[in-house]
Structure 1
């Protein structure tokens, strides 16, 4: 019988490029990027406290500070983004701003083996439409005077004012998120509005 094969079925004796492209893994790496104004600046770590009300805080450590210092301007917006990098295509995707404040403080630290910049600032968090997100990778949970605080994996979409679902099933409105990220670890602490 001629052409009795189902439509859209891979033939095992297909041309080699088709087969090899099906079995090549797509490599994806989670990345944190720092943009200050129009400049992308390398960073070795950052910590941030994003609040629903009141001023939020961001501090980043920039290695080899002399290389970036001339591009920095006070008042420029510092944005930390979380997303994905695809090395095979050399492209970024799914980038979301998780912390954003104006650059207010530039401190240079130099020693025999290091030359870093500590950059920090305070600002208000823009409130968007509230969403509900489940917390993943919960490592600790505490409740102090009825206010829940959960340490978990970083969620690129959760913001202050959103609703978080803890792994124990409890739901709460997020008042603040603290991020702790360096080359070896990344975590966030999510605090309930009290």
Structure 2
């Protein structure tokens, strides 16, 4: 029993180390000014998807900062106290992010749907396909352009059959990991 507990602790530590290495590699490759922040608590209630970070104003965290993991965009900081900050995840129903299709540059908006991401009002002429990578557009100034948001998993006509609706598989691991990166660099202008 004790040996199993030790093995489990070692496996958990190895996973944590691998995730930290991934985050540090992203920080190094991107050249962005980032800050590592531990996740203190998580709320994946379908009506309210948020993280609480163990980093606050004393650590330089500010409302509006983008939050990423090794896969891509996770969300943004919406509240900061002295010791902690709250992150609104992409999948929160109150979240919408300006994005573009990496392959052809078509601009769209991705919406949180509780447990998934959705693209609405996709013009039939947009040439969007299942498998297309979706990235931040940089429009609105909240997120730097080019960060991975997800990949289109499915497309269907909307109720009017005038537009398409797409479901995205998030690029970030919204339900995994113990740490995130906060972007300190001001968002870049869209290309």
Q: TM-score, normalised by structure 1?
A: 0.32
Q: Which has the higher helix share?
A: 2
Q: Which has the higher strand share?
A: 1
Q: TM-score, normalised by structure 2?
A: 0.33
